[in-house]
Amino acid sequence: METNKAKTIDEYIANCPKEVQQKLRQMREAIKVAAPQATEKISYRMPTFYLNGNLVHFAALKNHIGFYPTPSGVDAFIKETSKYASTKGAIQFPLDEPLPLKLVSKIVKFRVKENLKRAEPKSKKTK
């Protein structure tokens, strides 16, 4: 895959194998719906949604779609994601299974709340 040269998410998806492109489009759409105020970019050579900092990333790998909602996003949904391989900040969705788009949406909404809260002025946080 020539995804490491992509400048946009559209380019990233177009550079992936045809059978993976639909899953990437589904992932992108689920994230867009859950975080409509977020902007898209490529960061760390991956499709990234940004809202007061990096919100989530996703990427096509050989056998899975990697979803990177930061360690807090993984930890908050540990029970719901237990059937998937995961690391400190990533969840692996196998290519041979449907994407859990409702779960992705829940995690993204959680991350939106985190990023918005983090962006609040300090005076508001102490009230």
Q: Structural domains in the chain?
A: 3-122 (3.90.1150.200)
Question: Positive or negative CA dihedral for 5, 9, 14, 17?
Answer: positive
What are 9's two structure tokens?
């998410």
pLDDT in tens, the chain (127 residues): 556 689 999 999 999 999 999 999 999 999 999 999 999 999 999 999 999 999 999 999 999 999 999 999 999 999 999 999 999 999 999 999 999 999 999 999 999 999 999 888 755 555 5
Distances, alpha carbon 90 to alpha carbons 11, 56, 120, in Å? 23, 10, 26
How wide is the angle at C-alpha 7 spanned by C-alphas 25 and 107, nearest 5°?
45
